[in-house]
């Protein structure tokens, strides 16, 4: 364990979680997960397994054709052949709001679309492998997703956010006591988000030796496991150096490789970073519900305005599909186009006078 990187340990833990989850699923799922292993990440497969567990639970509790199956592990290919398109459509409706083991669940249209994609993948695989004679999921229409306004911080809000982290404005006495111990770390984290557009998992996974101040850059592991180098400004470098100097003065961290650590002297967790952002952003812009991903969007917006190059933004943010970038920053593109159009003069009226 000591020799594993953060991402290697995370993949190891998730592999064990998936293995346990597969024991709770029908045996017919094993073949599917082995079949998609080489073209999906462990996080993707874990999500698929969780989605399928909900789907089979729905079939065996809500559909008359399958209620005689008391344990979803008994759901075999014979029963899978009996699943029809309307069962899947009913499932999508069920996902809107349901209760399981005394807990109430709701799903957004985006989450429902992801679960539908899981089911489509599962049925398509089994159909292509001749496990079932037809693919009922292929007849289910894709869900229409409504675009939501992209929330991001304005320039003055960015400055106010960092000022509040620096001063502790708006914090309770208990929070202020903690802020004195974590102030430089918190500033460094928020500055890195806002200055590089890094993902939260990428930030948590940074080790001390991933940073090179000679080039103002650092190595990160992207989604899917690919590594790349991101660069940062002198302003970001300054906050990082101040935090690292303080961090390295703690002798208890001599054997800890992580850049960002908790008060327990361990690598900071994703949840802790989420709570950190929520705490300071709630004070600064209480109506905007700012998350680490919104800070990423803020950086992407500023980068696009500076470069007017969607391909640069896509590369820096690590988007595999340029259309993802275009979708998120189309509104800014229109704004730039409008400004450009206003600069084109067809007739100079002053010359005509």
Interval 139-187: pLDDT, tens? 999 888 777 777 889 989 999 999 999 999 999 999 999 999 999 999 9
> Of the spans 96-100, 181-185, 335-339, which averages the highest pLDDT?
181-185
Which of 24, 20, 14, 46 is closest to 33 using CA atoms?
46
Q: What is the 3-state secondary structure (H, E, C) of the chain?
A: CCCCCHHHHHHHHHHHHHHHHHCCCCCHHHHHHHHCHHHCCHHHHHHHHHHHHHHHHHHHHHCCCCCCCCCHHHCCHHHHHCCCHHHHHHHHHHCCEEEECCEEEECCHHHHHHHHHHHHHHHHHHHHCCCCCCCHHHHCCCCCCCCCCCCCCCHHHHHHHHHHHHHCCCCCHHHHHHHHHHHHHHHHHHHHHHHHCCCHHHHHCCEHHHEECCCCEEEEECCCCCEEEEECCHHHHHHHHHHHHHHHCCHHHCCCCECCECCCCCECCHHHHHHHHHHHHHHHCCCCCCCHHHHHHHHHHHHHHHHCCHHHHHHHHCCCCHHHHHHHHHHHHHHHHHHHHHCCCCCCHHHHC
213-227 pLDDT, tens digit each: 999 999 998 877 788
Residue with structure tokens 């669940």? 105
**What band does 194 get if pLDDT is binned at 50, 70 and 90?**
very high
Flag whether pLDDT at 299 surpasses 60: yes
Q: Which two tokens stand for residue 321?
A: 């599909």
Determine the length of the chain.
353
Flag whether pLDDT at 335 surpasses 60: no
pLDDT in the model for residue 102: 85
Q: Which two tokens stand for residue 309?
A: 């190059």
pLDDT in the model for residue 353: 52
C-alpha to C-alpha distances, 73 to 7, 34, 56, 158, 183, nearest whole angstrom: 31, 17, 9, 51, 50
**What band does 333 get if pLDDT is binned at 50, 70 and 90?**
low
Q: Which stretch of 82-96, 156-170, 188-202, 316-330 has the lowest confidence by average pLDDT?
A: 316-330
Query: Can you give the pTM of this predicted structure?
Result: 0.81
Q: Which two tokens stand for residue 111?
A: 């989450």
Flag whether pLDDT at 323 surpasses 90: no
Contact predicate 113/120, CB 8 Å: no
Q: Which residues contact 140 (CB under 8 A, 6 or more apart)?
A: 85, 88, 89, 92, 116, 119, 120
Q: Which stretch of 7-16, 118-127, 134-143, 221-230 has the lowest confidence by average pLDDT?
A: 221-230
CA pair distance 283, 223, nearest whole angstrom:
31
CA dihedral 285, 288, 292, 296 (to 10 degrees): -100
Mean pLDDT, the chain, as a whole number? Answer: 90
Flag whether pLDDT at 2 surpasses 60: no
**What band does 58 get if pLDDT is binned at 50, 70 and 90?**
very high
């Amino acid at each position: 364990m000591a020799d594993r990187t953060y991402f290697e340990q995370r993949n190891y833990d998730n592999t064990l979680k998936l293995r346990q989850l597969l024991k709770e699923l029908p045996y017919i799922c094993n073949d599917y997960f082995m079949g998609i292993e080489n073209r999906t990440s462990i996080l993707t497969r874990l999500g698929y397994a969780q989605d399928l567990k909900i789907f089979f639970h729905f079939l065996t509790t809500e559909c008359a054709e399958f209620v005689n199956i008391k344990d979803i592990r008994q759901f075999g290919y014979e029963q899978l052949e009996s699943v029809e398109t309307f069962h899947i459509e009913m499932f999508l409706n069920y996902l809107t709001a349901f209760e399981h083991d005394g807990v109430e669940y709701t799903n957004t249209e985006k989450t429902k679309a992801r679960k539908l994609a899981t089911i489509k993948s599962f049925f398509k695989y089994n159909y292509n492998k001749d496990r079932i004679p037809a693919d009922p999921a292929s007849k289910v229409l894709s869900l229409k997703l409504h675009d939501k306004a992209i929330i991001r911080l304005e320039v003055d809000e960015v400055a106010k956010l960092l000022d509040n982290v620096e001063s502790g404005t708006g914090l309770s006495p208990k929070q202020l006591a903690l802020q004195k111990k974590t102030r430089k770390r918190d500033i460094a984290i928020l500055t890195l988000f806002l200055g590089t557009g890094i993902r939260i998992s990428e930030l948590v996974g940074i080790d001390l030796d991933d940073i090179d101040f000679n080039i103002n850059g650092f190595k990160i592991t992207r989604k899917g496991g690919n590594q790349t180098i991101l660069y940062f400004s002198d302003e970001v470098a300054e906050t990082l150096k101040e935090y690292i100097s303080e961090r390295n003065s703690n002798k208890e961290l001599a054997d800890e490789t992580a850049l960002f650590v908790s008060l327990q002297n361990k690598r900071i967790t994703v949840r802790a970073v989420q709570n950190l952002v929520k705490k300071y952003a709630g004070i600064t812009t209480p109506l905007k519900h700012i998350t680490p991903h919104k800070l990423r969007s803020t950086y992407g917006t500023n980068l696009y305005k500076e470069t007017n190059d969607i391909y640069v933004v896509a590369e820096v943010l690590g988007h595999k599909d340029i259309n993802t970038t275009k979708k998120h920053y189309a509104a800014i593109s229109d704004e730039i186009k409008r400004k450009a159009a206003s600069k084109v003069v067809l007739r100079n009226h002053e010359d005509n006078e």
